[in-house]
Amino acid sequence: MARWRGSLEGVGVIFTPTSIDGAWIVDVERREDNRGFFARMYCHEEFVSAGLEPTIRQGNLSYNKQAGTLRGMHFQQPPHQETKLVRCTRGAVFDVIVDMRKDAPTYLTHVGVRLDQDNHRALYVPRYCAHGYLTLEPDSEVTYLVSADYTPGHAGGFRFDDPALGIEWPAPADIVSAQDRAWPLITL
């Protein structure tokens, strides 16, 4: 799995593929000096050059008061699937995506990545992959850049603790919404 480095004017975005086709870890290339650092976290041209769908149609922010808060597993059903670029800007989360594409060789497999305020890492979630995360620290904020408008009638999901998936969350999910607890188990 080779990395791909975009670079415009010496500051670029670093793309590292995951085991799910089309899902990428997105790191920043930092330019540091005595003030701190500067980094490009998103560049339309670099995403297109890497073969990724640009993600900015809508931007969302999620604030989570307590560690152990779980949000997920969510996706948009056809024809309103969306790509997401997810980044933790404060605190830390364990971010998980599950491939929901029945024709993909990685169907129902998952990838988990730690995103936090120090690593400045993001996760690129391709269309029709489910997404969720567990907060590892209190006062965690997560930003989402998405490629499509949220369409409530096409929102889907499944249980974060579905035994068919075997997701190993690094800590207990203490705070989960009623909706996220009520999602169905996946039918194989």
Q: Which residues belong to the active site?
A: 74, 144
Q: How many CB atoms lie within 10 A of CB 163?
A: 9
Beta bridge partners of 135: 93
Structure token digits, residue 125: 């979630």
Yes or no: say if 13 and 46 are a contact pair by the CB < 8 Å rule.
Answer: yes
